Every structure is written in structure tokens, then in C-alpha cells.
Amino acid sequence: MAGTAVLGRLTWLVAEVVETRSETPHVRTLVLDVAGWQDHRAGQHVDVRLTAEDGYQAERSYSLASPPGEPPAITVERLDDGEVSPYLVDVAEAGDRFELRGPIGGYFVWEPDGSTDPLFLVAGGSGVVPLMAMIRRRAAAGSDVPATLLCSSRRFEDVIYREELDQLAARGDGLEVVQTLTRAQPPGWAGYSRRVDVELLREVAPAPDQSPRVFVCGPTSFVEAVAEGLVSLGHRPGRIRTERFGGG
């Protein structure tokens, strides 16, 4: 559990891109081959370091999308004013290499541990990435702990992992996937069509008396709104774990 694992020094490892997968027009998954990689836990992240020919370096953190036991994969959203994400989304191809260290983080993690408390996962945009690692972990482990994933995206084409999530939800093993599209909806859209608010959380989240374990990841304003909404509905703050990415 959190805090008990003793890690050695996290050295920089060489990651080679073995596969790229376009998830949305702005988001791509890179599957990596990392010599010396130690297995990770669902929810952890890595630091990526790029080096230019003149020695200039840039580092950023990215959540792992793959479940434990599988090769590390990161899913990256291109930020228009970004320095590292445009390279990872638009430039890097199979065979390209960069440096990476991890896995990192011992708090925003989930493992099937026998608890039957439901899982409530709330994603704003690419905040779904570490939550997807949890969902994949849950499926791979054959866990039937009740789980609800609430994803907020702008448009239908921006929904990351949409087809895989539909397939996982169709397995009937207790996973429910709820989508809300905040900016535009396709004809006949059956999901939600607004930003996540308290009323939406009341309808979608497990009741507080079920003591759900909650993970929220997204932009700061999204995480603030969701966490405050859940607290106002009676969920215990100590059950709500958050991860935020700031600014842009």
C-alpha cells in the first residue's frame, strides 16, 4: 500500500517507442520498450526527458495508461503552447528514443485489494489516463468491484479510449461508463451534455453511505469543482484522491 514500498534511486532509463496509437485528433498513446523497467501500479506516472542535438533538455511528467504487467504506455495530449507534448504527439515514431524515469507516486494509485467498496473515477479530458490504467487493471485482474467512470470531454471525437471503454462496459462485470460532452453533442447523443455539476454527481456517483473510493483527475478547475461537489453531497474528503494538471 501507499508508502510501504521502498524504492531505489529512480535512474534515467532509455525508452524506445514501439507503437503509436492515435486516440483523438489531439491525443496519442506511445507504447514504450524500457530496458530495466520495474513494474508499476495503476495511477502512477513517469518523468520524460527529451534532449535536443545541442544538449538542451526538457522534462515533463505523464501518467501511465497501461496496467501493471504490461509494457509502459503513456497517453499524451498536445498542448498548443507545449514544448514536450507536441513532440510526443506529432513527431516521435516507432524506433525513436528518449529518456524516462519512474514509476513515480504512491498515493494516486489503485490495486484490487479485496475491498468491495465501489470505485468512482472522474476524468476531465486527458485526466482519464491514470484512471484508464485502473480500469484496465481491474479488468485484467478479473475484479468485479463496482466501478463507475465519469468522463467529461468537449466533443464526441475528443473522448479518449471511447471504443475500449464501450467494450469494457459491455462485459457486464460491474463497470459503468458515463460520458458527458460539454461543448457539442452528435445527433441522438444519449449521454450528458453539460459540465459536471453537483446534480450530475448526485445522479452518477455511488451514494456516500456506500463509502466509495474516489479518484479525480483533470484540470485544476475541473478537479476543484468535482471534489467540492462530492464533499457537499456528503462524501468524506479523506476518500477523495485528486490529481491535477495546471494551466495549460
Partner 1 sequence: MGIVSRGFSGRGRSGDSERLPPGQYRTRDFPVLSAGPTPHTPLDEWSFTIEGGDQPVRWTWDEFRALPSETVTKDIHCVTKWSKFDTEWEGVAIDILLESVDHDHAYAIAFCDGGYTTNLPLEDVTDGKAWIAFAYGGEPLDPEHGGPARLLVPHLYFWKSAKWVRGLSLRDEDEPGFWETNGYHNYGDPWREQRYWGD
Residue with smaller CB distance to partner 1, 12 or 189: 12
H/E stretch holding 76 = strand 73-77
* Alpha-carbon Rg for the chain in angstroms: 18
- Using CB under 8 A as the binding rule, whether residue 110 contacts partner 1 is answered as no
Residues in 35-74 that interact with partner 1 by CB under 8 A: 47, 49-53, 55-61
Q: Which of 103, 157, 162, 151 is nearest to 128 (CA)?
A: 151
- Whole-number minimum distance, CB 29 to partner 1, in Å? 18
230 to 78, 123, 135, 152, 237: CA distances (angstroms):
30, 14, 21, 16, 8
Residues in 6-35 that interact with partner 1 by CB under 8 A: 6-10, 12, 14
- Whole-number minimum distance, CB 102 to partner 1, in Å? 9
Q: Which of 88, 107, 89, 110 is nearest to 98 (CA)?
A: 88
- Whole-number minimum distance, CB 218 to partner 1, in Å? 12
- Whole-number minimum distance, CB 54 to partner 1, in Å? 9
H/E stretch holding 177 = strand 175-181
- From 134-142, 162-170, 197-205, 227-235, span contacting partner 1 (CB under 8 A): 227-235
Sheet holding 175-181, edge to edge: 175-181, 147-153, 119-124, 213-219, 240-245
Residues that bind partner 1 (CB under 8 A): 2-3, 5-10, 12, 14, 47, 49-53, 55-61, 83, 87, 91-92, 96-99, 104-108, 220, 224, 227-228, 230-231, 237-238, 240-242, 244-248
